Amino acid sequence: MSARDGLKPAASSQPSGGRALKVAVLAGGRSSEHDVSLSSGAAVRDGLRSGGHEVVWVEVGRDGAWRRDGEGEPLSATPGGGLLGVDVAFPVLHGRFGEDGTVQGMLEMLDVAYVGSGVAASALCMDKVLFKELMAAAGTIPQVDYSDVREARFDADPAGVLAQIAQLGLPVFVKPTHLGSSVGIVKVTAAEQLEQALRGAFAHDARVIVEAAAAGIEVECGVLGSARGERSESSAAALASVPGEIVFQGDFYDFEAKYEPGGMELLVPARISASATARVRELALEAFARAGCDGLARVDFFVDGERVLVNELNTMPGFTPTSVYAKLLAASGVEYPELVDRLCRLALERHAELGARAF
């Protein structure tokens, strides 16, 4: 199998990517996923240290201030001046003000290499509606049916909006457009519940997406690499992991199922056919490339027999060694210390490539 197939020989626990790096791990943040981010960041820190790298811990408070080691005065930054003398930043930040292009833009202004997708791809994938519109424009990526609802339009014409949503049938899932980790999601099983669900979602976001229920099981696939590998002999193509199946106890895969102990179980490989597995990996790579992603992503699917639907793409998934993304890559031969090392190397490669271009 090639790297594109997502399989490779098992790696040793010690990365062999070259010289040791000085890495700033950014964790915390202003979003509702602050605590999840701290757990992810601590795991990344430990993984980098086990690979021989020097780590500078930068904690982003709920107030938005950046503090080295989470203490003392907030850090000051100068455009073009770098960040604490590090080689690369690893922003393990989930949700708004971290995964949505804002921190990526700041790191661009500081002229610091950073792990993960750039400004445009991060913002795009954080917006569930824009992501779906881009995938629909491709014409080759099947998706769950959905309706885009703006608060101002709902206030002006609630009956018209409800009639539009009714075409999706029941049940439907009401989601704030810009939140991650299943925050604010409500399953609606009766028409009379819909208005209340929309109002609740509008408390989080002025734009809401309503998705039709999809048959089948939830399957997730990790992507590691860069779309640059498709056009550069010096870069390997992105690889798609072995797909995993999400098994949960509740009515749907909500926040509690994701983060409460025993809330979900990951089965690797997923219990789907060989042809559906190949299709999941193919679509994961296509969605990754079309969205302009870099470094990593987790792409989520519904699989019903041979029918595979793309649900969404997460540019900075949970990152502990027991998180879905890390487990999927480990099952594909990339152990945790090598994973975080390779992501830093990819970030440096992209930064060097961009620096060589004329603006």
Name the residues annotated as catalytic.
33, 181, 259, 298, 300, 312, 314, 318
CB count within 10 Å of CB 1 equals: 10
Which residue in this structure is represented by tokens 């009714």?
A: 166
Backbone φ and ψ of 169, nearest 5°: 80, -175
- Tell the burial category of 162 from Cβ atoms under 10 Å away from its Cβ (0-12, 13-18, 19+): middle
Backbone φ and ψ of 351, nearest 5°: -60, -40
Q: Are 301 and 218 in contact (CB under 8 A)?
A: yes
Q: Are 219 and 274 in contact (CB under 8 A)?
A: no
Residues across the chain: 359
